[in-house]
Structure 1
Amino acid sequence: MRERGKNTASARAKLRSQVEVVIKNLINNKENIKNSVLLMFRNIDNEGEEVKVPFHVKSEITERLRQKFPSLTVNFEN
């Protein structure tokens, strides 16, 4: 009999890759206050591979940025 979970966990670990968040564009208004940012998630191991980031992760990043910069608009390229 095969142990449950043992092979599944190792398979998941192999599928995980390192992802970084890159600032693609930063827009300042007339008063030189940063009010819009465009972020992109990039796979460090394979830059050509598309990165699918769950909505809750994007929401968490947006919320943390808005706590520091209330007027900031956060957009994601992917």
Structure 2
Amino acid sequence: MSQSARLAVAQSNEKGTERDEALAEVRQLIIDLRDAAQDGRDLARRYADVLQNVVDEYCIEFEKRAEAALARLEAAA
């Protein structure tokens, strides 16, 4: 095999290796992005649950206070 043919084969192998590495990197990036998106969805759900619980708690407390204030007004009338 001539030197130029060996050089062409070596360059072809190098390009193939670079391509394989780039594909592996893209695959890993896709996996990382999917994981990050899932983590973000999970976090959003947890915060939504916390916020819902806080709103429920304040609404219940407000309702109790409003009922007590209404009872005082009715008693004073």
Category of TM-score, reference length = shorter chain = under 0.3
More contact order relative to length (CA 8 Å, sep ≥ 6)? 1
Which structure has greater helix proportion?
A: 2
Which structure has greater strand proportion?
A: 1
**Which entry has the higher C-alpha Rg, 1 or 2?**
2
